[in-house]
Structure 1
Amino acid sequence: MHPRRPDGFDGLGYRGGGAGGREEVLAPGSAARSFGSSEPLPPHHWVSTPPDIPGSRNLHWGERTPQYGAGTPICPGQSEESVTGSAGGNEQLNKFAGFGIGLASLFTENVLAHPCIVLRRQCQVNYHAKNYHLTPFTIINVMYSFSKTQGPRALWKGMGSTFIVQGITLGAEGIISEFTPLPRELSHKWNLKQISGHLLLKGLTYVIATPFYSASLIETVQSEIIRDNPGILDCIKEGMGRVMGMGVPHSKRLLPLLVLTFPTVLHGVLHYIISSIVQKITLFLLKKKNPSLESSSQVQSMLDAYFPELIASFAGSLCADVCLYPLETVMHRLHIQGTRTIIDNTDLGYEVVPINTQYEGMRDCINSVKQKEGMLGIYKGFGAVVVQYALHATVLQITKLIYSMLLQNAT
């Protein structure tokens, strides 16, 4: 409850936990490690999270990113000051490189990939569509048509509201964890009680964000042809109006929030579980494949420190989006029903079509899609997922190559 996205569903992105609150604890009786110490770090000190930038994910609970530069031997003829200065420079360069790679990943996931999210959601809620857009080729053609007829702005509509929903989600998660015993992060030695509390916290967060997610979804799929310029805080205003039953008039087919809460929370929690499991498995396989993590090369150290985490996060989000795509389609159709939303015609690339569904709930929606649109109807717009993650993978590889060359020139 994507976008990715939303670790959970798209708009609730969170597709990951927060990055705060971790402290390194020394074993009883152990002395603090000196800067020039050559004693190797224990295995559990290996990288767990990319640099703490907005939206970064906690892939390995209770662990920390190592600080490179410690353990640098002093060669004959070198002063301790020169070694310290060199180590500090390399450490700053590594931090800058890791920050840049993480920032490029987040920019791709939340900004460059937003047109794919727009087309994906429009296809999911368009029960009129004859073209299901299961391949990336047809999706790219429709994106070009929308951009040509309505301007590039049509592909980035609703992007501000998705950030607002992410902020509401992270804020609600922080507030709930502060005033309740529910853990926001899991320690390295977790137990069943901690996992249950952690997932309960995620579920409560998605409950709070549900009305705002509905408002954000409408802004994302509403056609630019008939909509006025939305305000920055319209998502919050419409979400609060949805809770209190006030604001923009809706039809009688509008489903109550209680009906929408279950599929929203189910999608968000399952997305978080799947992505977290896949991230851990991917990172374990990457470390097993490349055991020479304690390399003396600063370039190798930087890539081992940050890039595997981003690859694991990428794989986790991809697997979760693919596995939960049918549930996401059902959830979006229930959210959009009765809101008098008019979307773009995804068959032609121009004109508009209204949304006039009459689903009674999840089961009725699934049965209706199977009968009227076939089994593949629940995968409408899947080609946008392929384009989204292909773009994300390309940017990651390009960024990796750029920083590898920069660090090689600096060493």
Structure 2
Amino acid sequence: MASRRPDSFDGLGYRGRDDPLFGANYPARSAAGAQAEMHHWVTTPPDIPGSRNLHTGERTPQFADTLGDHGEYGATAGLDAPQPGVPSGEQLNRFAGFGIGLVSLFTENVLSHPCIVFRRQCQVNYHARCYHLTPFSTVAVMYAITKAQGVKCLWKGMGSTFIVHGITLGAEGILSEFTPLPRELPHRWTWKHVGGHFLLKGLTAVVALPFYCASLIETVQSEIVHDESSSGLLDCIREGMARLLGVGAPHSRRLLPLSALILPAALHAILRYAILSCVQRLALWLHQRTKKQDAAPSNPLDSYFPELAAAWVGSLVADVVMFPLETALHRLSLQGTRTIIDATDGVIAAGNGGSPLVLPVNTQYEGFSECLHAIRRKEGVAGYYRGFGALVVQYALHGALLAAARTLLRLLLLEGKLS
């Protein structure tokens, strides 16, 4: 049987040889030249927004800039091609952003935890004569407690704070998926979007409230009465569920139900987030206004540091403004839990092995408004700001480490460019 295949058919380029639709775009290829032109068949993927291939040019840089006419590496790159073993400017830029962001996270969540511990102890200790409004008395008492109980006492409850952060992020993600409440504001937002976004923040705080109360107890409870044998990393979840369901160890009759804490918890979360966001956007806007447009390109760190500095300023202003509300929330959350805290006056007990005195928390507030009025009546306006010196130390340490990391990475980037 005679074959109907034309004599010129080679299996590769027949379609494009005589077809007027494809003849100009698909040249014929022979089997002998298939291996030589194999690299021309491989096309680069399209630029995806948000990927590392996103460029403003028309060609994707993987092959357009590094492959020459014959597929040789560096044929068209010339002297501008990055040499192997030498970090490029983009890599140094990413390293700088990652480094300074890592320092910020480490300082905010680890190094600042002792200040958070002492601040919360001062807020719930209505017996103390010293309010610790300045950082000088704060550092002295923190040193005395550390000397008596060890350095570990300043980092108590840090694991539970990470658990609360995880529960908050998870609850926010789940609520945003199953409800129309937006997790992030769109570029063209309306007041409906803003209201739904703030409502999501409030609902997230309410979901995490019982676990936040359990974490607060672990943070302020004295190490002297802390039982290491019965403590564990997941105690925060267990105690939170017990507080939510009303089971577990019996508490005092002064223990407030969670329904009495929903309003102050949601109000604190919404207002703090609103203040933080507004101040952060304002700081970034002022930075863009004061930045010289005609100036020479500055250090790559300038593209990362303004956002971190704006977040630092926003958190500082939000915590200062919301400090009285936070004090009332912590006292209401701790009431009736039979928690024993360290004496924040720094008094040393002579007959107790040189360890600081401990005090029980025995408040009798009936609600949120009654707590605010009682603090104003018995302790004055300064009673709302007990432990404010610890907040100053916390943000001073955070800001100093951010500035030091920026200076160090600037020097490293300078050495990398010179080399």
Q: Under TM normalisation by the shorter chain, which class is it?
A: 0.7 to 0.9
**Residues 317-366 of structure 1: CA deviation (Å, up to 9, x unaligned):** 00000001000000000000000000000012511000010000111111
Secondary structure of 1:85's match?
coil
Alpha-carbon distance in structure 2 between the residues aligned to 1:195 and 1:267 = 17
Shift of the alpha carbon at 1:117? 0.2
Alpha-carbon distance in structure 1 between the residues aligned to 2:150 and 2:98 = 33
TM-score (structure 1 length as normaliser): 0.80
CA gap of 1:32–1:154, structure 2 versus 1, over 3 A, is closer
Matching of residue 408 in structure 1 with residue 408 in structure 2: no
Asked whether the equivalents of residues 238 and 248 of structure 1 are also in contact (C-alpha less than 8 Å), the reply is no
Secondary structure of 2:57's match?
coil
Shift of the alpha carbon at 1:296? 3.8
Asked whether the equivalents of residues 162 and 216 of structure 1 are also in contact (C-alpha less than 8 Å), the reply is yes
Alpha-carbon distance in structure 1 between the residues aligned to 2:282 and 2:58 = 33
Matching of residue 288 in structure 1 with residue 289 in structure 2: yes
Letter in 1 for 2:284: L
Shift of the alpha carbon at 1:187? 1.6
Q: Which residue of 1 aligns with 2:314?
A: 316
Shift of the alpha carbon at 1:291? 2.8
TM alignment of 1:81-120, pairs within 5 A: 82-85=79-82, 89-120=88-119
Shift of the alpha carbon at 1:24? 4.7
Gaps of 5+ in 2: 1-47, 66-74, 348-355
**Residues 116-141 of structure 1: CA deviation (Å, up to 9, x unaligned):** 00000000000101000000000000
Letter in 1 for 2:253: K
TM alignment of 1:364-375, pairs within 5 A: 364-375=370-381
Asked whether the equivalents of residues 293 and 304 of structure 1 are also in contact (C-alpha less than 8 Å), the reply is no
Asked whether the equivalents of residues 120 and 385 of structure 1 are also in contact (C-alpha less than 8 Å), the reply is yes
Q: Which residue of 1 aligns with 2:353?
A: none
Q: Which residue of 1 aligns with 2:181?
A: 182
Partner of residue 33 from structure 1, selected from 52, 56, 77: 56
CA gap of 1:296–1:370, structure 2 versus 1, over 3 A, is closer
Letter in 2 for 1:126: N
Letter in 1 for 2:343: N
CA gap of 1:83–1:185, structure 2 versus 1, over 3 A, is farther
Secondary structure of 2:131's match?
coil
Asked whether the equivalents of residues 145 and 346 of structure 2 are also in contact (C-alpha less than 8 Å), the reply is no
Alpha-carbon distance in structure 2 between the residues aligned to 1:249 and 1:292 = 65
Partner of residue 377 from structure 1, selected from 372, 376, 383: 383
Secondary structure of 2:363's match?
coil
Alpha-carbon distance in structure 1 between the residues aligned to 2:294 and 2:317 = 26
Q: Which residue of 1 aligns with 2:329?
A: 331
Q: Which residue of 1 aligns with 2:247?
A: 246
TM-score (structure 2 length as normaliser): 0.78
CA gap of 1:159–1:81, structure 2 versus 1, over 3 A, is farther
User: CA RMSD for the aligned pairs?
Assistant: 2.3
Asked whether the equivalents of residues 206 and 265 of structure 1 are also in contact (C-alpha less than 8 Å), the reply is yes
Asked whether the equivalents of residues 337 and 357 of structure 1 are also in contact (C-alpha less than 8 Å), the reply is yes
Alpha-carbon distance in structure 2 between the residues aligned to 1:161 and 1:252 = 26
Alpha-carbon distance in structure 2 between the residues aligned to 1:344 and 1:293 = 57
Secondary structure of 1:322's match?
helix
The structure number with the bigger radius of gyration is 2
Asked whether the equivalents of residues 206 and 262 of structure 2 are also in contact (C-alpha less than 8 Å), the reply is yes
CA gap of 1:82–1:168, structure 2 versus 1, over 3 A, is farther
Percent identity of equivalent pairs: 57
TM alignment of 1:163-242, pairs within 5 A: 163-229=162-228, 230-242=231-243
Alpha-carbon distance in structure 2 between the residues aligned to 1:172 and 1:375 = 36
Letter in 1 for 2:360: P
Alpha-carbon distance in structure 2 between the residues aligned to 1:268 and 1:35 = 46
Alpha-carbon distance in structure 2 between the residues aligned to 1:115 and 1:216 = 14
CA gap of 1:242–1:83, structure 2 versus 1, over 3 A, is same
Alpha-carbon distance in structure 1 between the residues aligned to 2:201 and 2:78 = 48
Q: Which residue of 2 aligns with 1:11?
A: none
Q: Which residue of 1 aligns with 2:19?
A: none
Alpha-carbon distance in structure 1 between the residues aligned to 2:338 and 2:146 = 24
